[in-house]
Structure 1
């Protein structure tokens, strides 16, 4: 391409990819790239979409354009763009242009596109802005970012998560199990690992909509206290507890787990909370949970982990749109922190592939209920969820992230743990 030849958007896209565009691509200027007969395609609809992509290269710019409706993915449903994302991750390899090439591309596409448009309303503040406005993982800032993610719409979550209202990894006991059966199996496994018995006391931190609270109370006769930072979750859980007649056994409070004053629980469950608290806070987190247990009590920590033990902040899209301040590390760090807090780790288990299948189930629900989801939260938010869940499914399938159970005990002073010689729960 000579220096005098006008540059189209299709030309620019093709020139920045090592092996060319693997999907069909068309832009609002009429230009194209990639194989025209590809089953999946990208359609850039307007100049704002181009500005998003040019001012935030990588997943953030693409996400902004897609969430705003300025970029469409063709050939897949927006509720489950898994096939498109898998194809892009397999084949979309960008190359770094030289300074001369970059300047020519900018001039050709229009320097005005380097002025970033306002981000979509679904986008949270960047990390540096959040740092200015509040100490990371302070109670106030944690409450705000949890509200950003969970106080979307209880009806939306009902449509996506299904009747269990469980937003954590399920456990598929058989290949034929439904999502609902798998969520019940997950809760039952945790109850068995904690060796729950009628009349015991359980603390469930980060309890969400109260799935574990209700299951343990209903199926095991346990007195359960659940706490969540989401007011919407707490209100929904209370209504469901009352509807099921479990009020004498189960309670959910709108409360930071660090403000629980009761002690001497027989067991503590933490299902999907650790991802939110920050790796630097693990020592205080496990020390606090240990302090809530009586000697001989058990702790089950269920959380997303990485394949290595380097603390890693989430990518720009996840941080801005899904889990602000989220941070992951490996199961070894979880185990070490629990041990350093004076807990004896008895068992660990990786449920990585179960989470990939769980996410596929949530995407199927989003697709099946798309119109009602859009009516409830708007198309931009619905697109965020399809993108996030499909991308997370791929990450679990590829082993980039994992899901670990870590089971530990607070032992008596003489070393007694109450744990059997071998694990005694059903697989």
Structure 2
């Protein structure tokens, strides 16, 4: 139930191991520790929220526009006995009233924000962080900062309506213009190609069950989308970037002299 790029610690790691490693890497980049407060924007099925609560003792709040995701995630949080630490809320991220979070994670949401909304999006994140807090933005990007933002007619109609992609430089500029200091910037392009290969194999291996869950047309659309996206990542037509930044207090970022993740 994880819907974003995995990070493979080794070439032979399974998709499940790589997804778990992805969440743990985000936690380590954010410097999470017991008692911290985390806000996860566009939290999906709550994977990041649960990982941070279970393995780092973090008080984690996730928000999603999908009522189905929020309901499933809350049930899974309760099933795992994490409801004293974790919450997934059915909400627009802009309606979150809480502030002074130690960390904000955004994993696979920026693609849906729209390039014109980057300034207000990262300004919202800056406003929700405490001084010294950290932000990690994980999103699909263009290989340059000059191409069109639209994901294309097929994807726009059948997969991600109104999704937009920009180069990582555009992301970095928007983060910095919001008053945050970029500390680290990393490309996971080849990891997304491997993730899509795993998803495609899962679809093929479970074809009849997937068709029964939806219909053959939907299964074919998603199969085509995943194969095409894998090729695009392999050819460096699109990428996946982490941008890690801090909210400083009179120049004090709380960031170590060297990265510790």
How high is the TM-score relative to the length of structure 2?
0.99
Where does structure 1 differ by over 3 angstroms across 4 or more consecutive aligned residues? Answer: none
Q: How do 1:210-221 and structure 2 match up within 5 A? A: 210-221=46-57
Matched, 1:322 2:155: no
Q: State the shift of 1:176 in Å.
A: 1.1
Q: Distance in 1 between matches of 2:83 and 2:34?
A: 15
Which residue in the other structure is 2:80 paired with? 244
Which residue in the other structure is 2:208 paired with? 371
Q: State the shift of 1:213 in Å.
A: 0.3
Measured against aligned partners, the alpha-carbon deviations of 1:338-373 in whole angstroms (never above 9, x if no partner) come to 000000000000000000000000011111111011
Q: Is the 8 A contact 2:115 2:149 kept in 1?
A: no
Q: Distance in 1 between matches of 2:245 and 2:108?
A: 16
Which residue in the other structure is 2:174 paired with? 337
Q: State the shift of 1:312 in Å.
A: 1.8
Task: In structure 2, list runs of 5 or more residues that go unmatched.
Answer: none
Query: What SS class does the counterpart of residue 190 from structure 1 fall into?
Result: helix
Choose which of 187, 190, 193 in structure 1 pairs with 2:29.
Answer: 193
Which residue in the other structure is 1:177 paired with? 13
Matched, 1:262 2:102: no
Query: What SS class does the counterpart of residue 105 from structure 2 fall into?
Result: strand
Query: What SS class does the counterpart of residue 239 from structure 2 fall into?
Result: strand
Q: State the shift of 1:391 in Å.
A: 0.4
Q: Distance in 2 between matches of 1:314 and 1:348?
A: 23
CA RMSD of aligned residues (A): 0.6
Which residue in the other structure is 2:143 paired with? 307
Q: Distance in 1 between matches of 2:74 and 2:220?
A: 30
Which residue in the other structure is 1:70 paired with? none
Choose which of 179, 184, 192 in structure 2 pairs with 1:347.
Answer: 184
Task: In structure 1, list runs of 5 or more residues that go unmatched.
Answer: 1-164
Count how many residue pairs are aligned between Structure 1 and Structure 2: 260
Which residue in the other structure is 2:221 paired with? 384
Q: Higher RCO, 1 or 2 (CA under 8 Å, sep at least 6)?
A: 2
Q: Distance in 2 between matches of 1:367 and 1:339?
A: 43
Q: Is the 8 A contact 2:39 2:105 kept in 1?
A: yes
Query: What SS class does the counterpart of residue 28 from structure 2 fall into?
Result: helix
Matched, 1:403 2:240: yes
Which residue in the other structure is 1:358 paired with? 195
Query: What SS class does the counterpart of residue 171 from structure 2 fall into?
Result: helix
Measured against aligned partners, the alpha-carbon deviations of 1:288-327 in whole angstroms (never above 9, x if no partner) come to 0110000000000000000111342011100000000011
Q: State the shift of 1:393 in Å.
A: 0.2
Q: How do 1:22-421 and structure 2 match up within 5 A? A: 165-310=1-146, 311-412=148-249, 414-421=250-257
Query: What SS class does the counterpart of residue 356 from structure 1 fall into?
Result: helix
Query: What SS class does the counterpart of residue 313 from structure 1 fall into?
Result: coil
Q: Distance in 2 between matches of 1:360 and 1:230?
A: 26
Q: Distance in 2 between matches of 1:236 and 1:388?
A: 25
Q: Distance in 2 between matches of 1:203 and 1:215?
A: 13
Q: Distance in 2 between matches of 1:169 and 1:283?
A: 24
Q: State the shift of 1:422 in Å.
A: 1.1
Q: Is the 8 A contact 2:180 2:245 kept in 1?
A: yes
Q: State the shift of 1:232 in Å.
A: 1.0
